[in-house]
């Protein structure tokens, strides 16, 4: 499982002109699912995202989590995080899980985080006001 996490002042996802998910201050999580991912990766990713200390404390140090600040989380499915462009110019997406595998795992991560979400498989427009900017990339550990 792979995530790109952005600390935001606000973020929202629109599908066909309708806002389907939005948050104020908090995190925008772009989430990709790989073949072989399962419940272990869901638990690891949700715990890691929830516990990231990337919000400023009273001394201005990154020492607070999204829960500590009462922030929101918006999770958006993003299979293109597994795009491979090592050969040629058109990405290959063989590293991404098939939708029937990815969708329930994406939903499970969003549920575990109590997150707003985009719409899996839809053509989405994502708007955000990046805060910092602070952007991190997380890959779940390889599980055996």
The residues annotated as belonging to the active site are 78-80
Contact between 57 and 108 under an 8 Å Cβ cutoff? The reply is no
End-to-end Cα distance, the chain? 14
- CB-based burial of residue 75 (10 Å sphere; 0-12 exposed, 13-18 middle, 19+ buried)? buried
Cβ-in-10-Å burial (0-12, 13-18, 19+) of 116 comes to buried
Helix axes 39-51, 99-113, angle to 10 degrees: 40
In this structure, what token pair is assigned to residue 18? 């309708």
Cis peptide bond prior to 133, omega within 30° of 0: yes
């Amino acid at each position: 499982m792979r995530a790109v996490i952005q600390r935001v002042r606000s973020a929202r996802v629109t599908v066909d002109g309708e806002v389907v998910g939005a948050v104020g201050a908090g995190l925008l999580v772009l989430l990709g699912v790989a073949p072989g991912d399962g419940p272990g990766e869901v638990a690891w990713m949700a715990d890691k995202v929830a516990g990231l200390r990337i919000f400023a404390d009273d001394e201005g140090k990154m020492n607070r989590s999204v829960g500590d600040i009462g922030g929101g989380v918006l999770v958006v499915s993003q299979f293109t995080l597994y795009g491979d462009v090592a050969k040629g110019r058109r990405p290959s997406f063989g590293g991404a899980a098939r939708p029937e595998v990815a969708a329930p795992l994406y939903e499970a991560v969003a549920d575990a985080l109590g997150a707003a979400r985009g719409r899996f498989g839809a053509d989405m427009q994502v708007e955000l006001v990046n805060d910092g900017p602070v952007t991190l990339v997380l890959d779940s550990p390889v599980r055996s």
